[in-house]
Amino acid sequence: EFALAVAVAIARYTNKTDIEAFDLLNQFFSIWGRL
């Protein structure tokens, strides 16, 4: 799934934990959803 792939990419790029990357992804989609 695309969202999962993006989450993995973010986690690898930032070297953050999966939970932190997931939280970041949630924030991104929350902002994107308001546009």
Q: What is the 3-state secondary structure (H, E, C) of 1-35?
A: CHHHHHHHHHHHHHCCCHHHHHHHHHHHHHHHHHC
Return the amino acid letter for 23. D
pTM greater than 0.95 (yes/no): no
23 touches 9 (CB < 8 A): no
For range 6-19, the mean pLDDT = 73
Residue-level pLDDT at 33: 81
Residue-level pLDDT at 17: 65
CA angle centred on 23, ends 8 and 2, rounded to 5°: 40
